Chains A and B, each alone.
Chain A
Amino acid sequence: MLKIGEYEFTSRLLLGTGKYPNFIIQKEAVDVSGTEILTFSVRRMNIFEASQPNFLENLDVAKYTLLPNTAGAKTAEEAVRIAKLAKASGLCDMIKVEVIGCQKTLLPDPVETLKASEELLKEGFTVLPYTSDDVLLARRLEELGCHAIMPGASPIGSGQGIINPLNLSFIIEQASVPVIVDAGIGTPSDAAVAMEMGAAGVLLNTAVSGAKDPVKMAEAMKLAVEAGKLGFEAGRIPKKRYATASSPLEGMSIS
């Protein structure tokens, strides 16, 4: 079970809802992924085109725990406002704190992320900050009381996979709340590696929505997360420098 604050989940794959080719493919990908947590963003409505369909209308929202993000925020203050807007919908009290400090790399601003998380914890939110792979920042966020820590594998949407496995392993090792690898996952093997390292879950979006076949990739990610988790629990063999035979060396029928 994945426990985040007071919530419990069977699936360890958290799925974003951005940039799918259309709502039909999105719904199918979401279904196939087996995810129980969906992320999304908060934006102004186009009041002059109110009849436009919204992605939520295609999904059975009651089936999912909604994890809005504060994407677009550059300061703690903006992030807190977006979080409060999301909560006022009455649909969710979880928040992915995402305060971007650099538009080119989309890396999070650590100081503002920490400030926003502190404020939102005081307000009673279930807080999941998107953070860099900084080990001490992850610890500080946990000490504040964050309900999960979400370090990026590599820059958002880059598909580069886990570029700093050492730091990620330190973050996982020290944490007593779930560590969810968020952003930068490109392939099922990336997701599996994160889980094999002991991550509690994986959050991804572009790797599925931008795939040639998003529905098939959603299934691949589901299986990869499950395989990686099983592999972690099973315990890998130590790496050795030289070969060790799998077949017995005795009893050969040749002289």
Chain B
Amino acid sequence: MNLTVNGEQVVIPNTVKTVAELLQHFELNQKVVIVERNAEILEKAKHTDTQVSHGDKIELVHFVGGG
């Protein structure tokens, strides 16, 4: 399926069904990462039962140094 992740078009294997699996696909499952799916911000607890589907717009953000 095709997703827009952080503004980039990416092709994701169809075995990826949920946000948690998507994070695993990008090897981000051990990182502090915040997910927004189609402009809806997801609490971490919702990653495992939030589905991703073709055409979704996903934002993956994290913390960087700043003042």
**Beta-carbon contacts of A52-92 to B below 8 Å, as 1s and 0s?**
00111000000000101101000000000100111011110
Of chain B, the residue at the smallest CB distance from A208 is B67
Chain A, range 201-226, C-beta contacts under 8 Å to B: 203-206
**Beta-carbon contacts of A10-41 to B below 8 Å, as 1s and 0s?**
00000011111000001000000000000111
Smallest CB separation, B17 vs chain A (Å): 18
- A18 adjacent to B34 (CB under 8 Å): no
**Could you say which of A39, A45, A86 contacts B6, with CB atoms under 8 Å apart?**
A45
A145 to B47, CA, bound (A): 33
A86 to B5, CA, bound (A): 18
A134 to B31, CA, bound (A): 40
- B5 adjacent to A89 (CB under 8 Å): no
- A40 adjacent to B33 (CB under 8 Å): no
A81 to B42, CA, bound (A): 12
Of chain A, the residue at the smallest CB distance from B7 is A44
Q: Is A51 an interface residue (CB 8 A)?
A: yes
Smallest CB separation, A214 vs chain B (Å): 12
The number of residues on chain A lying at the interface, defined by a beta carbon within 8 Å of a beta carbon of chain B, is 38
Interface size class on chain B is 20 to 34
A81 to B40, CA, bound (A): 10
Chain A, range 87-133, C-beta contacts under 8 Å to B: 88-91
- B65 adjacent to A47 (CB under 8 Å): no
**Could you say which of B27, B42, B61, B67 contacts A50, with CB atoms under 8 Å apart?**
B27
Q: Is B11 an interface residue (CB 8 A)?
A: no
- A39 adjacent to B67 (CB under 8 Å): yes
User: Given the interface contacts A50-B31, A88-B43, does A45 sit within 8 Å of B60 by beta carbon?
Assistant: yes
Contacts A47-B26, A88-B44 given; 4 further ones with Cβ under 8 A?
A: A47-B8, A54-B63, A90-B43, A90-B45
For the complex of A and B, list the 10 residue pairs with the smallest distance between their C-beta atoms, beginning with the closest. Answer: A16-B67, A41-B66, A205-B67, A17-B65, A18-B65, A18-B66, A45-B60, A43-B64, A44-B6, A40-B63
A–B complex contacts, Cβ < 8 Å, 30 sampled? A16-B66, A16-B67, A17-B67, A18-B66, A26-B65, A40-B63, A41-B63, A42-B61, A42-B62, A44-B7, A45-B60, A45-B62, A47-B5, A47-B6, A50-B27, A55-B64, A66-B63, A81-B41, A84-B41, A85-B36, A85-B61, A86-B34, A88-B35, A89-B63, A90-B43, A183-B67, A204-B67, A205-B66, A205-B67, A206-B67
Q: Could you tell me which A residues sit within 8 Å of B by CB distance?
A: 16-20, 26, 39-45, 47, 50-51, 54-56, 66, 68-69, 71, 81, 84-86, 88-91, 156-157, 183, 203-206
